[in-house]
Structure 1
Amino acid sequence: MLLKLELLEQIQRGEVDLVFRRWSRPTVKAGGTLKTKLGLLQIGAITDVDPADVSEADARRAGFSDVADFRKWLDTMKPGHLFQRIEVGFPPEGH
């Protein structure tokens, strides 16, 4: 799972704790970690979702201003049969 530096910084500051991905096969597992430019990103719960069911609250948790902004981003994503909601975060300093 590739994440832009700007998004990683938002996650690190606690502004974003959720990402969405559409893919043909998942590349991360719940409870795993992902090596990034800013350190190890923890992967929390992963849930299969229908993009139409994404709430305003989840869109904001993922860094979008609202669901319309989320849907605009979704239209730019590659096709895939699996759409997932992924909780993410960096461990607290010193851990």
Structure 2
Amino acid sequence: MLFRQEVLEGIAGGRIDRVFRVWAEPRVRAGSTQRTRAGIIVIDSVTAVTPEEITEDDALRSGFKDRAALLTALSKSTKEGGYHRVMLHLGGPDPRTELAANADLTEQELADLKAALDAIDNRGQRVPWTREVLRLIEEHPGLRALGLAEHLGRDRLPFKADVRRLKALGLTESLETGYRLSPRGKVLMAYLRSLTE
């Protein structure tokens, strides 16, 4: 599920504990989790509801000023299907966020990260790409994935999948638009440059 920034802030602050979606079939299930910029969101329940079952409290607890505003927003959905109430809560920080913030790396940790990048590059079917993507993000923080991919003559979706692999190592961070190197990623890039000087 996609969440607007103000909804994520509301979930993180405890003001929002439910969202509504128009789905032919539920896209999430109770007990599942989703990584977001706010942290790990836990899905508590998913219930099909009629418009009559949506209450004023539902509207307030989903970030709308009133029931009418929520129903108006749902009616404007271009998706086909019924209304679903998704109860959720913030389960905690995304471990990748904590990892990305850790810039106090030992020589061994830096060597291990270099080895991880080497392993990714060596397993690939194409030329090594990890350092090139990190360098591009370092030089163009906040640039959309499409723009970054175009710099490399690549398609957007495979490029985004590559960035997710780097994010899993704690080296990049997603912004509202585009990406940037994390503190951990900046330290690694300085280390990699020192090896070639």
TM-score by length of 1: 0.87
Q: Which residue of 2 aligns with 1:77?
A: 77
Higher helix share: 2
Q: Which residue of 2 aligns with 1:50?
A: 50
Q: Deviations over 1:22-68 (max 9, x none)?
A: 02232211011011122210100111101232111111111111111
In percent, how many aligned pairs have the same letter?
Answer: 35
> Aligned partners of 1:92 and 1:81: how far apart in 2?
31
Q: Does 1:65 align with 2:68?
A: no
- Of 51-60 and 13-22, deviating more is 51-60
Q: Which residue of 2 aligns with 1:10?
A: 10
1:92 positional shift:
5.3
Structure with greater Cα Rg: 2
1:20 positional shift:
0.4
Contact 1:23 1:78 in 2 (8 A): no
> Aligned partners of 2:15 and 2:60: how far apart in 1?
9
Contact 2:59 2:67 in 1 (8 A): yes
Q: Deviations over 1:64-95 (max 9, x none)?
A: 111111122112212322321011110257xx
Runs of 4+ in 1 over 3 A off after TM superposition: none
1:6 positional shift:
1.3
Contact 2:18 2:86 in 1 (8 A): yes
Contact 2:39 2:92 in 1 (8 A): no
Contact 1:54 1:67 in 2 (8 A): yes
Give ranges in structure 1 of 5+ residues lacking alignment.
none
Amino acid at match of 2:91: P
**Higher relative contact order, structure no. (Cα contacts within 8 Å, ≥ 6 residues apart):** 1
TM-score by length of 2: 0.44
> Aligned partners of 1:38 and 1:56: how far apart in 2?
26
Q: Which residue of 1 aligns with 2:143?
A: none
Give ranges in structure 2 of 5+ residues lacking alignment.
94-197
In structure 2, do the counterparts of structure 1 residues 92 and 34 end up closer, same or farther at CA, with 3 Å as the change threshold? closer
